[in-house]
């Protein structure tokens, strides 16, 4: 881990050289091979220089330069794959915070620049820069070497790796950032990394396939879930012809592969929920199934947002009145989604109460997109959405 900055510098140098040379001499026949060769030579030079430097500075250290003369970098597809796998397990280290793990993965594994990460997080470069540096320092401090994870390490660390990759995906999928291309790239990169885990025997576990399936189903709706202005389009209003059928099929394929072994992970349950959402038509079976999956997901692990979604599914399966009784027991009064849900449930049951809940949600919502959605509900109910929009 100590040489990570050197490696990053070599990569930057290589790309700089490429920009200079390619712009004057034109693109080489095989740009990829060109980049690898240049990076390889720069690495060799660095190692020689570094060895020389070490010898002169500390002659007592016996450094065998012959080693670096013979040094051959293995840049085969297999070795690159293995190295990336090793790197995932290095980066997803529970000794550093989860958000740092995600930032490191974005930077080191997916090659996103600090500015891009800052854009996605809606923060500035300094914050991301500090976060990355702290995380790298911590990994150095812990003296972690980047090596193939052992079976025990895979067993112990896998859940952490999957959480980080899922967060990386969510960062792209749910980010409030306007830059759709960047957000899509985050999702694609997360999927690439999970795909890589399925490509190695020891990490090709049922729950890994379940996570990949889940990501495929979610990603299939990427084009349908926002309009040209980046405004969110709710699930029930989406144009299903924009759903990506190829990704839905991939999702089903990995869901099939995940259905082995005795462990039912939360990714299995979430993939199941996402699978049913690829059926646009509302049938009693669809919502019964979704409700049961949400029940099981909550029994496995509580989360407020899952509790709210479960109650929405309950309304679809058993009617709004049954759901209202359950919703009012949740008491998630510091969550604006709670009031949006109550607003939704009371609509057509008691529109005055519905309006009150939506008004409350509006005062608590943070992002403009959310405020816009809530305001629209308020207008539909014939209310005035407050001063902010002056309607």
Among 102-110, 256-264, 307-315, 344-352, the segment contacting another protein (CB under 8 A):
307-315
Q: Is 66 in the site for another protein (CB under 8 A)?
A: no
53 burial via Cβ count (<10 Å: 0-12, 13-18, 19+): exposed
367 burial via Cβ count (<10 Å: 0-12, 13-18, 19+): exposed
Task: Please check whether residue 202 is in contact with residue 217, taking contact to mean a CB–CB distance below 8 angstroms.
Answer: no
Q: In angstroms, give the least distance from the CB of 319 to another protein.
A: 13
**Chosen residue from 291, 324, 361, 362 binding another protein by CB under 8 A:** 291
**Chosen residue from 55, 84, 160, 292 binding another protein by CB under 8 A:** 292
Spatial neighbors of 83 by CB under 8 A, at least 6 apart, are: 146
**In terms of CB distance, is 122 or 300 closer to another protein?**
300
Q: In angstroms, give the least distance from the CB of 293 to another protein.
A: 10
Q: Is 335 in the site for another protein (CB under 8 A)?
A: no
Task: Please check whether residue 272 is in contact with residue 288, taking contact to mean a CB–CB distance below 8 angstroms.
Answer: no
Segments of 43-147 assigned E as strands: none
The candidate with the shortest Cα–Cα distance to 90, out of 174, 172, 7, is 7
The candidate with the shortest Cα–Cα distance to 144, out of 221, 64, 90, is 90
**In terms of CB distance, is 56 or 331 closer to another protein?**
331
Q: Is 262 in the site for another protein (CB under 8 A)?
A: no
The candidate with the shortest Cα–Cα distance to 64, out of 72, 76, 52, is 52
Q: Is 330 in the site for another protein (CB under 8 A)?
A: yes
Q: Is 295 in the site for another protein (CB under 8 A)?
A: yes
**In terms of CB distance, is 216 or 314 closer to another protein?**
314
**Chosen residue from 8, 326, 337, 356 binding another protein by CB under 8 A:** 326
Query: Where does this chain bind another protein (CB under 8 A)?
Result: 288, 291-292, 294-296, 298-300, 302, 306-307, 310-311, 314, 318, 326, 329-331
């Amino acid at each position: 881990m100590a040489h990570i900055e050197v490696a990053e510098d070599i990569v930057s140098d290589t790309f700089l050289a490429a920009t200079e040379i390619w712009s004057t001499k034109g693109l080489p026949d095989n740009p990829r091979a060109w980049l690898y060769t240049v990076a390889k030579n720069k690495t060799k030079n660095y190692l020689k220089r570094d060895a020389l430097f070490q010898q002169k500075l500390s002659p007592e250290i016996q450094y065998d330069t012959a080693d670096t003369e013979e040094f051959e970098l293995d840049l085969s597809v297999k070795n690159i794959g293995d190295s990336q796998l090793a790197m995932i397990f290095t980066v997803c280290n529970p000794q550093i915070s989860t958000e740092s793990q995600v930032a490191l993965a974005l930077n080191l594994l997916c090659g996103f620049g600090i500015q891009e990460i800052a854009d996605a997080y809606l923060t500035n470069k300094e914050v991301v820069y500090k976060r990355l540096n702290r995380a790298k320092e911590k990994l150095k401090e812990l003296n972690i070497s980047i090596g193939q994870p052992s079976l025990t390490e895979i067993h112990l660390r896998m859940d952490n790796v999957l959480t980080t990759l899922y967060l990386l995906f969510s960062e792209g999928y749910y980010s409030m950032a306007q830059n759709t291309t960047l957000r899509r790239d985050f999702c694609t990169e997360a999927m690439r990394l999970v795909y890589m885990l399925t490509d190695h025997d020891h990490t090709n576990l049922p729950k890994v396939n379940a996570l990949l399936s889940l990501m495929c189903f979610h990603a299939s709706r990427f084009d349908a879930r926002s309009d040209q202005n980046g405004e969110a389009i709710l699930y029930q209003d989406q144009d299903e012809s924009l759903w990506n059928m190829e990704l839905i099929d991939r999702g089903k394929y990995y869901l099939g592969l995940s259905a082995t072994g005795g462990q039912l992970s939360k990714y299995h349950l979430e993939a199941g929920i996402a699978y049913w959402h690829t059926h646009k038509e509302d049938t009693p079976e669809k919502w019964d199934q979704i409700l049961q999956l949400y029940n099981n997901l909550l029994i496995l692990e509580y989360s407020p947002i899952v509790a709210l979604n479960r109650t929405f599914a309950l309304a679809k399966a058993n009617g709004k009145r049954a759901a209202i009784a359950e919703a009012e027991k949740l008491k998630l009064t510091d969550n604006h989604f709670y009031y949006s849900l109550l607003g939704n449930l009371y609509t057509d049951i008691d529109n005055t109460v519905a309006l009150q809940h939506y008004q409350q949600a509006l005062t608590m919502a943070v992002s403009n997109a959310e405020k816009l959605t809530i305001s629209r509900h308020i207008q539909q109910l014939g209310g005035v959405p407050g001063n902010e929009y002056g309607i």
